[in-house]
Structure 1
Amino acid sequence: MKTKFFISFLISAFFYSNIVSANKIGKQYSDSEKDKIIVYVLKNILSRYHYVQKKLDDDFSEHVYNEFINNLDPSKRYFTQKDILEFSKYKYLIDDQIKNTNIDFYKLVYNRFLEKIDKAKSLYKLLLKDSFDYNSDEEINIDYEKIPFAKNDLELRDIWRKQLKLSVISRVEQSESDQDEKAKKDSIFKKKSFAELEKVARAKVLENMNELYNRIDELENSDWYSSFLNSIVSGFDPHTTYMSPRVKSRFDQDMSGRLEGIGARLQKKGMYTHVVELISGGPAWKQGELESGDIILKVAQGKNEPLDIVGMRLDDAIKFIKGKKGTEVRLTVKKIDGSLQVISIIRDVVELEETFVKSSIVEKNEKTYGIVNLPKFYIDFNDPGRRDAAKDMEKEIERLKKEGVEGLIIDLRDNGGGSLQMAIEIGGLFIDKGPIVQVKYRGEAPTVKNDVDEQIQWSGPLVVMVNEFSASASEIFAAAMQDYKRGIVIGGKQTYGKGTVQNILPINRFYEQYPSDLGSLKMTIQKFYRISGGSTQKEGVYSDIALPSRYSYMEFGERDLKGALPWDKVVQANYKKKNSYSNWEEVVNNSQQRIFNDKKFKKISEYAKWLKRNQEDNILSLNYNDFKSKRHKKENEGKRFKEVFKFDSNLTFSSPKYENELFKKDTVLKDKRFAWHKSLKKDIYMNEALNVLSELKMNKEYAIVEK
């Protein structure tokens, strides 16, 4: 079968005869030729080897058309309906252009975009020259995807006016709130008038806009062309992306495991920079206030004035957020409840060490239990001899067994995945032998991936913790434990739902004689399936015990991504459920009853519903008094949930004994573990997982020989 061979070898062989031989060594290329080469190579790789056999037809053309225009103008600031009408002549022709390596559509839209950028520079300066009318009763819809493009330049000017007015209003309202707080603490503090605050706010918005367009002026054709290429490759699925040389360099740095910054993974959605993950043990994680789902609006270096990053490219935003160890960054963030908060974080080196397995020990009801936290399914593909997640997990469990633990919790919350092989090997630590996952290439029968080692590292009670951010390899492991009934899965209603795997292919490999770096393609080549047959794609893994969370009612995960591959199923693998527990159903029912009756969990569920309602509120008043009144009303409503996650289990968490020797030499590690144990003590979800674990009883006949 062709899948027995290294996929890039096959692709290289094809392109060697179809591309490389057609070019002479030493040929000089123009930027236009380079752009066409990249399109040609991408088209052939994707058509032949992407998991989905996608037709380059009118539907595909329409996707590229809409995606590219929306990527350039997500807030409808530049193009009018007249421009869109002119662009629309290509709406169903882009597929033919791609086949013929023609980029006329890109050139038309890109050149028009540059013209619009030049006009915008004059327009925003003119609009910010004088004060706005803050008494008029008008509104703005900030769900820009749902508003139409301006009919003409006059209407476009009004869109700009409203967006700039909103920026000024937000700043003035925040300044007034800050003044009120200062006045409470200082009786002689003199407040500035609305007019004074408005003038300062308008000047600051102007400054930020100037900085934004200065950065835009620094961008080259290749930056915008990357956006066009991603409009093409995203037509196959949302995880297939083109990475320019600069983006690939940053990706490699991220994978190296050593960064200086705050320890957060960020994602651009529309105009905003979202926090999608906190790196365990990193500065932001330790500081404790920044959370997944937060939106970063401004960035300040120490005590300097904050810089507005709304609308800024993610690359540029990251440059301001990252920084040298020991320096302070202050982030103005919008929390998911709509409130604004300034968070101060001292940057530090974020080591790969922080993504390694770690464990904690706790006593409950006179029994000892172990918690193993696995942030990633890590492995060094370049050096198989180095530590990896499976080796570390096996070693950590052995250490916990020596401590006399009677049950294990594997914490996969916020674990975005990693190595498929690690998921298989770690799954094998909890069963004798058998299937763990099924993987499938396009057009082929699924291949069952088995654990072939009959020995077991842990045969006792097992609970697997997940949440809405648990993805990919985490879902493989959790699904296997669930399908075997080897462990109870507890957490959010369902996990993220990423059931695909990507491979990174350097484009120069297929056009070897091109003198400079053409970038890389991250391409979806496989799909995962549970051993029970169902895909983890979109659906993820449904918890055996669902715990209310802030994301319970929100659209979230793979199912919320445009163009995500569908859920499907294959034939069930040959496996047998483990008769591990004598009281599985009883334990699950007991937990569900506790959750239903618990006031804290009821409050969290109420909070989640409130957040959902706020998420759907995209119409904002541009009347200042009305805007301020509604903001205060929302803040007051939010106060009901101020302590929704405040909890104390009164349990004591500690490190396994072997770490005590390490603490003598590494006080930083000691501090990190102390912070983690403190957070576990206050973790209502961990508390319920321990309740479940403490009730589980193994079947007497379930006798397994451990290592």
Structure 2
Amino acid sequence: MKRNLVLGFLVILIAVASCSFTNKSFESNDKDKLLLDLITYVLERGHYEPKDINDDFSVSVFEDFINIVDPTKRYFLDEDIQEFEQYKFQIDEQLKNTDITFFNLVYERLIERMGEAREIYKEVLEVPFDYNVEETIEVDYDKQAFVDSRDKLKERWRKQLKYATIGSFDSKLKNEAQKEKDEEGYTAKSAKELEIAAREGTKNTLDEFFDFVDDLERKDWFVQYINTIVDEFDPHTYYFAPDDKEKFDISMRGNFEGIGARLQKKPEGAKIVEIISGGPVWRDQQLEVGDEILKVGQDGEPSVDIVGMRLDDAIKLIKGPKGTVVDLTVRKVDGSIESVSITRDVVMLEESYAKSATVIKGNQKFGLINLPKFYVDFNDYSERNAATDVAKEVERLKQEGAEGLILDLRDNGGGSLKTVVEMAGLFIKDGPIVQVRSSGKDKDIYEDKDERVQWDGPLVVLVNELSASASEILAAAMQDYKRGIVIGSKQTFGKGTVQNVIPLENIVRSNEHGDLGAIKLTTQKFYRINGGSTQLEGVKSDVVVPDRYSYIDLGERDQQNPLGWDKITPADYDVWDGYIDYEATIESSSKRMASNPQIKLIEENAQWLKEQQDETVVSLNYDIYKSEAKKDKERSQYFKSLSEYDSRLTFESLKYEQELFTQDPVLREKRDRWHKNLAKDVYVEEAINVLQDLKINNIKNGKLASVKG
């Protein structure tokens, strides 16, 4: 069934939706049981691909919940796990009967064991660490088993705390050496004194962590249990407790304050998986996707170790009012440990809007449009949106004589579906853009019905592993129409699903428990016009080029419980036949990239980063630790030359923007910084080469060759 673009459109990918489930009575007076009943009911009837709640499901919930509450295996003993295992195959039955016996047992034992752990770490930190001993620690906690005695648990804590302290000890030694060098007459503190200070710092961090945990209520842990169940369905389905739902609503409006990064829970801390355009992290440029936050401090105060902390709680420490400073201890992608201070701020929406530049090579001029996300004003679509803004930039670039166009969708995490369809329509005459299917229903086809083609010249689309959702729809459509050549990573992120937010109170007729929160539920799936899903596989670039994320786990395929890839019938569409030597252009580009020294260095860097991440055994001997850190720093410095690359391309702001610079020097500074980075960008350089290869003067006026699905 084809649906009109204007009528019945999905305006945003994540929307508040009403729920039309079959009537059912929810009568529990126990709020926990009521929530469990509501959520399992919604999951089974509303999820795009509901799972059977059976023994296999029970085992997954069992293992994942234990891993969430004790990821580093420093609280529970083996005897606890054996006791818990009586419920390993019963959780499915408990869910059907709104029975929370398993949760209650685990929660009560966790509180007990955390109390004991508080005594253990104090005992450990009373004794000096001997950094001359040759010993190691395995930091891949999945490879460790639960221990069977308090003595063994204490030994595990000892190694973990020594590991947490050795970096601080090293920093203090270096600082003292520097002071002794810089300050005449300064007497450096002894290694013994510095070891005591480093250990005291670790103790203060743990004291704060456990004080923070003490403030958590039972309901906070129950939300974790609920989300363990929910997460078994797919990584984008999520339960929001009432307070979290309010924060989600605020973030959807774009009026949230923090550092501007999306985080993912890891045993070692919180991994940065997305940097929000315009946010403090984006502006500061010290952090990048793949970095892991280990400790969080507040403007010079002692830092709190977030290893083992719930992600929600870690985020509460990281977020804060505009203007305040958060100190982050971070393990960089290359394995080095750095301290980074970020001033929290409101995300600057202006920096997430489309912007363009002209690119001059020889006597030819090209256009580049950078689109950080597919934005839209939720209250008034006509006010400002990505499609109309890109259309304006295209027109301006045409007026300035651009002979080819680059659409940069790298790091673009998606957004409004409506803007994708309208934007794709700028580059084709008319036809389908994307297919959307709900569970058990026929597909809907979203089309461009406007026969105008705003840009009929050569087109290149730049993508990477972080191009997701709406970005993948646009890249896929341009690829299927053979309208543009996609250059970038082996594949894009691979998020091909749609979520709706359902307030749970909408389902209950009479509710004495107040706000019950909401569930973000996966309800639909995207498909390319060629019939293939963008889920999991993403969009495979026509010209594959490595980047530093090539071997790092970032995409949908690396999430827990992702939905699978599948295929439906293709839509009817006509391939663009405007290029001469389309396939030959792709082949020429691939050959250039294979022999490019900068690309070879990027590939080498990517492989080294992967090796760093795979090395999970760390020495606790100071001399070895220092030696390995020195080698890593030298290797990291070797790759600094990547940022010194010069494409010798010239980038300029458009005339209308240059006129604004006299009144807005900040805008000038932003654009200068952007152009400087673009000049170092080998991918943009190759995109220009491809535009030249597309035989600019031999466009066949958009002649079409029919391909029927």
TM-score, with structure 1 as normaliser = 0.93
1:327 Cα deviation after fit: 4.5
Please tell me the residue identity of whatever aligns with 1:597: S
1:186 Cα deviation after fit: 5.5
1:610 Cα deviation after fit: 1.1
1:611 Cα deviation after fit: 1.2
Q: Measure the CA separation in 1 of the matches of 2:76 and 2:101.
A: 18
Comparing 310-319 with 542-551, greater Cα deviation is found at 310-319
CA offsets 1:132-153 (integer angstroms, 9 cap, x no match): 3333332211111221111232
Q: Percent identity?
A: 50
What residue in structure 2 maps to residue 252 of structure 1?
249
What residue in structure 2 maps to residue 409 of structure 1?
406
Q: Measure the CA separation in 1 of the matches of 2:202 and 2:539.
A: 45
What residue in structure 2 maps to residue 676 of structure 1?
674
Pick closer, same or farther for the CA change 1:207–1:98 going to 2, 3 Å: same
What residue in structure 2 maps to residue 192 of structure 1?
189
Contact in 2 for aligned 1:271/1:312 (Cα 8 Å): no
**Please, which of 535, 538, 548 is the counterpart of residue 540 of structure 1?**
538
What residue in structure 1 maps to residue 25 of structure 2?
19
| 2:425 counterpart of 1:428 | yes
Q: Measure the CA separation in 2 of the matches of 1:266 and 1:201.
A: 28
Comparing 107-116 with 338-347, greater Cα deviation is found at 338-347
What residue in structure 2 maps to residue 688 of structure 1?
686
What residue in structure 2 maps to residue 26 of structure 1?
none
Matches within 5 A, 1:74-473: 74-180=71-177, 190-473=187-470
| 2:510 counterpart of 1:513 | yes
Pick closer, same or farther for the CA change 1:125–1:386 going to 2, 3 Å: same
Pick closer, same or farther for the CA change 1:88–1:13 going to 2, 3 Å: closer
Contact in 2 for aligned 1:364/1:694 (Cα 8 Å): no
Instruction: Give the match's secondary structure for 1:642.
Output: helix
**Please, which of 58, 73, 80 is the counterpart of residue 61 of structure 1?**
58
Contact in 2 for aligned 1:260/1:350 (Cα 8 Å): yes
Q: Measure the CA separation in 1 of the matches of 2:106 and 2:321.
A: 39
RMSD: 2.4
Pick closer, same or farther for the CA change 1:434–1:513 going to 2, 3 Å: same
1:71 Cα deviation after fit: 0.6
| 2:597 counterpart of 1:599 | yes
Contact in 2 for aligned 1:459/1:704 (Cα 8 Å): no
Instruction: Give the match's secondary structure for 1:577.
Output: strand
Please tell me the residue identity of whatever aligns with 1:47: E
Contact in 1 for aligned 2:9/2:418 (Cα 8 Å): no
Q: Measure the CA separation in 1 of the matches of 2:656 and 2:48.
A: 46
Matches within 5 A, 1:638-677: 638-677=636-675
Contact in 1 for aligned 2:18/2:502 (Cα 8 Å): no
Pick closer, same or farther for the CA change 1:198–1:568 going to 2, 3 Å: same
1:304 Cα deviation after fit: 4.6
Contact in 2 for aligned 1:333/1:340 (Cα 8 Å): yes
Contact in 1 for aligned 2:71/2:308 (Cα 8 Å): no
Pick closer, same or farther for the CA change 1:13–1:536 going to 2, 3 Å: closer
Comparing 634-643 with 5-14, greater Cα deviation is found at 5-14
1:594 Cα deviation after fit: 2.0
Q: Measure the CA separation in 1 of the matches of 2:451 and 2:125.
A: 72
Q: Measure the CA separation in 1 of the matches of 2:657 and 2:303.
A: 41
Q: Measure the CA separation in 1 of the matches of 2:338 and 2:414.
A: 30
Q: Measure the CA separation in 2 of the matches of 1:387 and 1:525.
A: 27
Contact in 2 for aligned 1:12/1:509 (Cα 8 Å): no
1:297 Cα deviation after fit: 2.6
What residue in structure 1 maps to residue 701 of structure 2?
702
Please tell me the residue identity of whatever aligns with 1:533: G
**Please, which of 495, 498, 520 is the counterpart of residue 498 of structure 1?**
495
Please tell me the residue identity of whatever aligns with 1:52: E
Structure 1: tracts of 5 or more residues without a match: 24-28
1:190 Cα deviation after fit: 4.2
Please tell me the residue identity of whatever aligns with 1:677: H
Please tell me the residue identity of whatever aligns with 1:118: G
Comparing 506-515 with 406-415, greater Cα deviation is found at 506-515
Contact in 2 for aligned 1:604/1:645 (Cα 8 Å): no
Comparing 626-635 with 161-170, greater Cα deviation is found at 626-635
**Please, which of 48, 52, 55 is the counterpart of residue 51 of structure 1?**
48
Pick closer, same or farther for the CA change 1:320–1:574 going to 2, 3 Å: same
Contact in 2 for aligned 1:504/1:521 (Cα 8 Å): yes
Comparing 325-334 with 161-170, greater Cα deviation is found at 325-334
1:324 Cα deviation after fit: 4.4
Pick closer, same or farther for the CA change 1:542–1:179 going to 2, 3 Å: farther
1:627 Cα deviation after fit: 2.4
Instruction: Give the match's secondary structure for 2:569.
Output: coil
Please tell me the residue identity of whatever aligns with 1:82: E
1:551 Cα deviation after fit: 1.5
What residue in structure 2 maps to residue 36 of structure 1?
33
Please tell me the residue identity of whatever aligns with 1:370: G
CA offsets 1:563-604 (integer angstroms, 9 cap, x no match): 111111112221232112112223222222222222111111
Please tell me the residue identity of whatever aligns with 2:502: L
Pick closer, same or farther for the CA change 1:498–1:9 going to 2, 3 Å: closer
Comparing 214-223 with 506-515, greater Cα deviation is found at 506-515
Please tell me the residue identity of whatever aligns with 2:359: V
Instruction: Give the match's secondary structure for 2:522.
Output: strand
Q: Measure the CA separation in 2 of the matches of 1:276 and 1:307.
A: 21
Pick closer, same or farther for the CA change 1:639–1:667 going to 2, 3 Å: closer
CA offsets 1:62-89 (integer angstroms, 9 cap, x no match): 1111111111000001111111111111
Structure 2: tracts of 5 or more residues without a match: 705-709
Please tell me the residue identity of whatever aligns with 1:580: G
Instruction: Give the match's secondary structure for 2:639.
Output: coil
Contact in 2 for aligned 1:463/1:490 (Cα 8 Å): yes
What residue in structure 2 maps to residue 570 of structure 1?
568
Instruction: Give the match's secondary structure for 1:450.
Output: strand
Contact in 2 for aligned 1:393/1:426 (Cα 8 Å): yes
**Please, which of 527, 530, 535 is the counterpart of residue 528 of structure 2?**
530
Comparing 128-137 with 220-229, greater Cα deviation is found at 128-137
Instruction: Give the match's secondary structure for 1:275.
Output: strand
1:552 Cα deviation after fit: 1.5
1:166 Cα deviation after fit: 0.9
1:605 Cα deviation after fit: 0.7
Pick closer, same or farther for the CA change 1:454–1:188 going to 2, 3 Å: farther
Pick closer, same or farther for the CA change 1:120–1:100 going to 2, 3 Å: same
What residue in structure 2 maps to residue 609 of structure 1?
607
**Please, which of 623, 626, 630 is the counterpart of residue 625 of structure 1?**
623
